[in-house]
Chain A
């Protein structure tokens, strides 16, 4: 990291720390990540352990968030569910971001017919509401955690590709790119050392907000039976299972939904804060 980059990073961190909502968002995410990583220590019971004689219990001292129809501890399942939801969120964004950056940077840096074709393909993907595209892909690939991540990841590619292309278009005209070319650097070197790193600021913001929408889309797919399958405690799937008992046991619906909402809220707070810190012109 050059001294100039270090200075920029510090400025971003300082601005972030002054933004109370962004700090709250970061704290929520940190708590969830900690709970997910140390789930066996945090959760009082195993997420799949059934005790049928203690099924259908409302929240109590023994079971803080109650039990489901199989007597499984809802709190433990939500804690373990953080692992799945966060993994889905981060890996999905990883897929969307890496493919999107490759497509966008190639289209922006090289331009020409190939760039045009790539971006028209992105326009086509953007023409479909992302949840619908995820449903179509997941329906084709079949249910399952990996397919879920691929489906949600692919549907997010166009958003990253557009941002990356926009940045790459302006960066390729910069003098330092011309200097790199003049000094004999290869395209691969220019792309990986100069273009992609300089595209990252808006992409980081989009990725943070993207984790939120990925978790939301993944939960929605699980809710309609296209995502994670039982007995894995994905929050959307838990909501879907609890739905049939909504009249008698509303806690089976309320707590997994609350977990989803708090997680999304955390990423949205942090994403907004990052956007303000990285681009103060967008503060309003």
Chain B
């Protein structure tokens, strides 16, 4: 198992280098001279030239990428903000906990509600409950997260005054952003649970379990759900990665000082190293979550042989 985990970790390296390459290329092709942006409009041509030489910006593209990668791996240096001049990684590390907090709460909401809704929908296929749940799931999948956030603010903060519309300093403040962020994942997990359960409850071993006289709850929860869990866990893992990325919009609406809001404000100020660093950071986090999900499979389904 440990060898498998290590192998999976090593196999992530090329993907992460690839992500870094794409992010670096995008930064490289961005119009505008990074030296001029860092030094400001008042800098003379000599100062710009000196900066370019010092930072290695006159070197060929691949040399620059090699140095970027080397600095990222050895020093954790993925550039400096044009605006604050501080290291991008320091800024990202300061804002990541808030992003993680609302994303984690959102995935918990999506799982706690989505799995039971999906199970009942599958067990009561074609019932009114099933139709209503599937309709709401479809609406949830179609709802723009930034619009839902604004509607929730309008209803629960402006009109009812029940919950705060910004910040993340209390549990109450976490509710609206997390619900906003969770909605799409909730819809997807509900649909996936339903379809995965429908596949399983038609299997012979479920009929056998029923024929043995086991209670319906045992048949569904112990026999069916356990076997339907792999696709649900896969989707939940992918969704968590998407939530980390999707938090960009939610944080911007609810004024949460996370990675997403940092990226949006950096986009507005054309502070590209922070934008690209944010993409890199979240892509790393999402890839790592997917690795954890892969490792979880072995615990969920003992038939999976890691040696293969």
Contacts and interface: CB of A to CB of B under 8 A. Distances in A.
B30 A223 contact: no
A261 B286 contact: no
B150 A129 contact: no
Contact of A224 (B151, B252, B286): B252
A125 B22 contact: yes
Nearest to A142: B31
> Which 4 residue pairs across A and B have the least CB separation, nearest first?
A129-B245, A257-B147, A124-B18, A264-B142
B298 interface: no
A268 B142 contact: yes
Given A139-B30, A246-B158, 11 more contacts: A128-B245, A132-B248, A135-B267, A135-B275, A139-B275, A140-B27, A224-B264, A239-B150, A253-B150, A264-B144, A265-B138
Contact of A247 (B16, B158, B283): B158
B279 A253 contact: no
Contacts of B14: 120
Contact of A136 (B138, B147, B244, B275): B275
Interface of A: 120-121, 123-125, 127-133, 135-137, 139-140, 142, 212, 216, 219-220, 223-226, 236, 239, 243, 246-247, 250, 253-254, 256-257, 260-261, 264-265, 268-269, 272, 284
B139 A261 contact: yes
Interface of B is mostly: helix
Contacts of B83: none
The secondary-structure label for the interface of chain A is helix
B139 A137 contact: no
Interface of B: 14-16, 18-19, 21-23, 26-27, 29-31, 138-139, 141-147, 150-151, 153-154, 158, 194-195, 198-199, 241-242, 244-246, 248-249, 252-253, 263-264, 267-268, 272, 275-276, 279, 282-283, 286-287
Contacts of A256: 147
A160 B29 CA distance: 25
B13 to A, nearest CB: 12
Contacts, number: 137
A129 B282 contact: yes
Nearest to B145: A220
Given A223-B146, A224-B264, A139 B272 contact: yes
Contacts of B286: 127-129
Given A120-B18, A131-B246, A135-B263, A239 B147 contact: yes
A35 B206 CA distance: 51
